[in-house]
Amino acid sequence: MDLNVKTQNHQLVPHKGFKLINGTHDPDDVDQIYNLEIRDSDVFVVTYPKSGTIWMQQILLLFEAKGDVTAISKLNNYSNADLIPWIEVNGNRQAFITAPSPRLRVTHLQHHFMPAALSQRKGKVIYVARNPKDVLVSYFYFHKVANMLETPKNFDDFFEKFIRGDVYGCSWFEHIKTWYSHKDDMNMLFITYEEMIQDLHSAVQKISLFLGKELTDEQLANVVKHSTFNNMKKIPQASYEQVPGDLLNHNQGTFMRKGTIGDWKNHFTVAQNERFDEVFQREMKDFALSFIWDINDIENQLLVS
Ligand code: PPS
């Protein structure tokens, strides 16, 4: 999420079935994204917040640098988010028009705002999805850290807000269902955070194939090495460490927080979990997608295979 725009209040502004952040997004500008001309080399990473955006940004930057992490570290910017900007943030749409190829961008926007040309199979889209229970927990902590988001009263209150979709990104369920329903209209790779945790090497290989990247085995191995959680945590650009304290309250936590699967178990009460499952079943009943809910699921899967 873009942290470089200082906002005076944390108001979410309803706009065409979505919510924009006052001061960070300009509704008129966001509306014009739909008409952008798209080049075949354009790549949009689409995520619901806290689903692994910065992770994918790091992987794409490493592809461009052929796995050379020093090339990224030398770039004199706040963070990966500046190097692969958010298309919806004030000023970024205009810059996109004349930017040199390849134009790599990220977005949390819903599908209906995005360039119509994507649905004519121009450019590429990578949708990263994450188990919504872990998204909720990650988003709760991020609200405490990020200046432009309202500090949550407590976890219970935030839980209800997330379920209602009363957060930036709106309903997790609507986001994933809408985007997924358009996956065959566009050149889209749909990938999950959990499969990246499970086998980062295979995931990176899959992304590289999708983007038509020609990397040697050694370069690919370097992309993997420098996009692990522990290594990214050490790189200031990848961990938002350089973002000034008035935008990101570093005393309240870190952007690269835990980077794991199943942290929801440390936060949800039994009642909250039952309620979440109920909503999940209702919302996702016609949607054939399964998530790894617990790190032990991976171990069980490995035992079975
Ligand atoms: S944002 O603010 O929406 O752009 O956040 P986003 O980058 O989408 O998500 C942040 C969470 O992704 C975790 N992360 C990673 N996990 C595992 N491996 C790697 N390499 C990695 N990089 C980022 C990050 O720690 C946040 O999740 P939580 O659960 O809070 O740790």
Q: Please indicate, yes or no, if residue 137 is contained in any of the structural domains.
A: yes
271 within a domain of the structure (yes/no) = no
Cβ partners under 8 Å of residue 281, min gap 6: none
Note whether residue 201 is domain-resident: yes
Nearest to 296 by CA among 219, 197, 174, 213: 197
Q: Of 5, 21, 54, 230, which is best to mutate to test ligand 1, by the most ligand atoms within 8 angstroms of its C-beta?
A: 54
Position 44 scores a pLDDT of: 98
Arithmetic mean of pLDDT, 139-166: 94
Average pLDDT over residues 289-304: 70
The CA dihedral of 194, 195, 197, 202, to the nearest 10 degrees, is -170
CB atoms closer than 10 angstroms to residue 142 = 20
Q: Please state whether beta strands 188-192 and 124-129 pair in parallel, antiparallel, or not at all (unpaired).
A: parallel
Structure tokens at 241: 């460490």
Catalytic residue among 25, 108, 175, 226: 108
Q: Does residue 18 fall inside a structural domain?
A: yes
Q: Which of 255, 263, 264 to mutate to test the pocket of ligand 1 (most atoms within 8 A of CB)?
A: 255
**pLDDT tens for residues 117-133?**
999 999 999 999 999 99
Residue 60 has pLDDT above 70, yes or no: yes
Any atom of ligand 1 within 6 Å of the Cβ of 67: no
Tell me, yes or no, if the pTM score tops 0.85.
yes
- The average pLDDT across 158-184 equals 96
How many domains, in total, are found in the chain? 1
What lies within 8 Å, CB to CB, of 264 at 6+ separation is 131, 133, 134, 136, 137, 273
Residue identified by tokens 């997608």 is 289
Q: Output the pLDDT for position 2.
A: 60
Q: State how far the Cα of 293 lies from the Cα of 270, in Å rounded to an integer.
A: 15
Q: Is the pLDDT of residue 6 over 80?
A: no
Best of 50, 82, 168, 225 for a ligand 1 pocket test (most atoms within 8 Å of beta carbon) = 50
pLDDT band at 292 (very low <50, low <70, confident <90, very high): confident
Position 160 in a domain: yes
Which pLDDT does position 284 carry in this prediction?
93
Residue 270 lies in a domain: no
Q: Considering only CA atoms, which residue is closest to atom 3 of ligand 1?
A: 49
CATH value at residue 127? 3.40.50.300
**Residues spanned by the domain of 137:** 12-259
Q: Is residue 6 part of a domain?
A: no
* Ligand 1: residue whose CA is nearest its atom 2: 1
Task: Please say if 250 is a catalytic residue.
Answer: no
For 146, the token pair is: 């990020």
Q: What is the pLDDT of residues 214-237, one digit of tens each?
A: 999 999 999 999 999 999 998 877
* Cα 150–Cα 153–Cα 158 angle in degrees, nearest 5: 75
In a domain, residue 173? The reply is: yes
**Ligand 1 and 57: CB distance under 6 A:** no
> Which ligand 1 atom minimizes the distance to the CA of 55?
22
- How many Å lie between the centroid of ligand 1 and the Cα of residue 139? 10
Task: Report cis status (omega within 30 of 0) of the bond before 244.
Answer: no
Half-sphere exposure of 51 (CA within 13 A, CB side): 24
CA angle 190, 121, 127 (to 5 degrees): 20
> Using CA atoms, how far apart are residues 236 and 78, in angstroms rounded to an integer?
8
CA distance 213 to 182: 24
Nearest residue (by CA) to ligand 1, atom 9, is: 50
Residues counted in the chain: 305
Looking at the DSSP assignment, which residues form a beta bridge with residue 45? Answer: 106, 126
